[in-house]
A and B are shown apart, each in its own frame.
Chain A
């Protein structure tokens, strides 16, 4: 579909055989990054005691993420607040900017979400080993399991650990892509049924747009909260 196609903007850039050309995906990532920067700059510029609308929303985002981290990962995860906050804002803005007509949804491409998820996975693993050393491997060995079952359970636990980045990335990608495809399908029905029958799919389309905005927020939230949960597993070893 046209809205999912990646095309180059400007000249082709190749460095050591790797295609690093500037595409519309990179453009929309930059747009969402700048949108976040401008929004947070406006929100923190004046620092009124009685906040105006922008400042209020910016502070709401801050306290929302801060509460999410302290609820799921405890006080030990406080140093990772900047990372989780920027992750949440980036995914949220990519999803929301993707909802605008004629724009490109960066998160509807699995390579983007997979790289985000793999980065989180590698980072959490490194944090776990840095904090606990080789004792971190004990998350693969749950306590209270009979010795006969232990090899089997360990393999299952390892598969479960390795499936984290996959489920994290596929969830975001599938939700965004399915939603946009559904909107496109209903939009196509409006055209093909014409002025007489097109009203029903049109009303569906309007309702689905609302649902998609909910999903866009929800998926950013789920992405961030699962990062917190994985971080919690790495910081506090208890099984």
Chain B
């Protein structure tokens, strides 16, 4: 009656393998969600900051609304730069 014993140990090994896999999967999903949240705000924040800087400079130099428009696009560019940098960093981590 050695077969049931053998089967039990094999079952144990298989179960522990599955558990490990599930754990690492859920961990990975968590970090993906974190990075997804990260990317969205990264883009929006830079656009907002650029526009605000343009608005302040406009009221200093009395050039409404030109600097605001220019800085809006510069902000969008730096937002994309941020997103690319974050994505690069994420790829390096993997």
How does the 8 Å CB contact mask read for A166-198 relative to B, with 1 for contact and 0 for none? 110011001100000000000000000000000
B59: Cβ under 8 A from any A Cβ: no
How does the 8 Å CB contact mask read for B50-94 relative to A, with 1 for contact and 0 for none? 100100000000000000000100110111011000000100000
Give the distance to chain A from B94, nearest Cβ to Cβ, in Å. Answer: 13
Give the distance to chain A from B68, nearest Cβ to Cβ, in Å. Answer: 13
Interface magnitude class on chain B: 20 to 34
Asked if B30 and A160 sit within 8 Å, CB to CB, the answer is no
Interface magnitude class on chain A: 20 to 34
| Stretch binding the partner chain, chosen from A53-61, A151-159, A200-208 | A151-159
A162: Cβ under 8 A from any B Cβ: yes
Contacts of A167 in B (CB 8 A): 41-42, 44-46, 82
- Assuming the A-B contacts A160-B78, A160-B82, A163-B82, are A222 and B34 also in contact, with contact meaning beta carbons closer than 8 angstroms in the complex? yes
Contacts of B77 in A (CB 8 A): 156
A136: Cβ under 8 A from any B Cβ: no
Contacts of B45 in A (CB 8 A): 163, 166-167, 170
Asked if A171 and B53 sit within 8 Å, CB to CB, the answer is no
Provide the main secondary structure of the chain B interface.
Answer: helix
Asked if B49 and A159 sit within 8 Å, CB to CB, the answer is yes
Contacts of B71 in A (CB 8 A): 159
How does the 8 Å CB contact mask read for A127-168 relative to B, with 1 for contact and 0 for none? 000000000000000000000000010011101101100110
B13: Cβ under 8 A from any A Cβ: no
A interface residues (Cβ-Cβ under 8 A, vs B): 152, 155-157, 159-160, 162-163, 166-167, 170-171, 174-175, 214, 218-219, 221-222, 226, 229
19 contacts between A and B (CB under 8 A): A155-B74, A156-B74, A156-B77, A156-B78, A159-B71, A160-B46, A160-B82, A162-B53, A163-B45, A163-B75, A163-B79, A170-B41, A171-B38, A174-B41, A175-B37, A214-B33, A221-B34, A222-B38, A226-B38
